[in-house]
Amino acid sequence: MKVPMALGDVQGLRAAVGARIVGQAEVIDFLILALLSDGHALLEGLPGLAKTRAVKALAKALGTELHRVQFTPDLLPSDVTGSVVYHSDEKGGRFRFEPGPIFGNVVLIDEINRAPAKVQSALLEAMEERQVTIAGETHPLPKPFFVLATQNPIEQEGTYPLPEAQLDRFLLHIRVGYPDAEAELAIVRMVRSEEQQEAPITPVPLELITEARQAISSTVKVSETVERYIVALVTATRNPSALDAALGKQIEVGASPRASLALDKVSRARAWLAGRDFVTADDVRAVASAVLRHRLVLAYDAKAKGLSADQVVARLLEVVAVGG
């Protein structure tokens, strides 16, 4: 396979973000995969685990301004999308659309589950349709358009649980965990050195991301065996008892065909980043949890036993065979 020029640039992008985010290599990889797959990502983790910092580092490495919206219970849809404002001058008055913070290449939605349903609905249109509609007029969002949302897994006071339909719009659900002791020591030293002087970043032009997406679409192939494996994993979530009796008691609602599309997209992006022009079953398995964990509704039996969606997906990967 002839390696596209954009591949080296994207690997440089990953290295630039990694230089500022220590101990979260998997999180960075999934952010890059979501970007290459033209999808949005939900980052879930406790406060202080560098979720916002990771998004800021990514925007800086892309050479674009980060548009950040802090979701709160009193937020209005127009606070996100923008609104029509009356302007007057010497020629008279007229209404003009003033774009909101959603009009950016990289948009950070902090604490997405703190805003009410109307705001979530406005965000949903922007994420899915890549446009917003104000006063009957449609306004396209810039390209590329990348939404990264954060969520605290334990803080529930004053929050609005995200509906399954909105969760399904996120290509990936990325878990952000604690770094190990050595990584945390490196974080302390890095932040201390940044107080002196922050190392400069040579940004990757946004055009190269479009180039990389086109390269993935045109060069990376998926065999029928892997295609059938992707579909088998997703359809198994809808009738799990046919494969495993215990699994059948753990999944209440399975994933939609959007999960199959997501597995295909992200697996191809992962193969391309590895310098391959073909997808393997290992690519699919590596991204399965991030693609499926937010698309499964666990049954009471799983919740009673304290099982997580990741444990259910891990069991799914055990019982669904490649080419079987």
Would you list the DSSP string of 12-60? HHHHHHHTTS-S-HHHHHHHHHHHHTT-EEEEE--TTSSHHHHHHHHHH
pLDDT value at position 3? Answer: 46
User: How many angstroms separate the CA atoms of 310 and 233, rounded?
Assistant: 14
pLDDT value at position 2? Answer: 47
Q: What is the pLDDT of residues 61-118, one digit of tens each?
A: 888 889 999 988 888 888 999 888 877 777 777 788 888 899 999 999 998 888 888 8
Q: Considering the entire predicted model, what is its pTM?
A: 0.89
H helix runs in the chain, sequence order? 5-18, 25-36, 51-61, 77-81, 117-129, 164-167, 181-196, 206-219, 224-236, 245-248, 257-273, 281-292, 300-304, 309-319
Q: What is the pLDDT of residues 172-197, one digit of tens each?
A: 999 998 888 988 898 898 888 877 77
In order of start, what are the domains of the chain with their CATH numbers?
A: 5-195 (3.40.50.300), 220-319 (1.10.8.80)
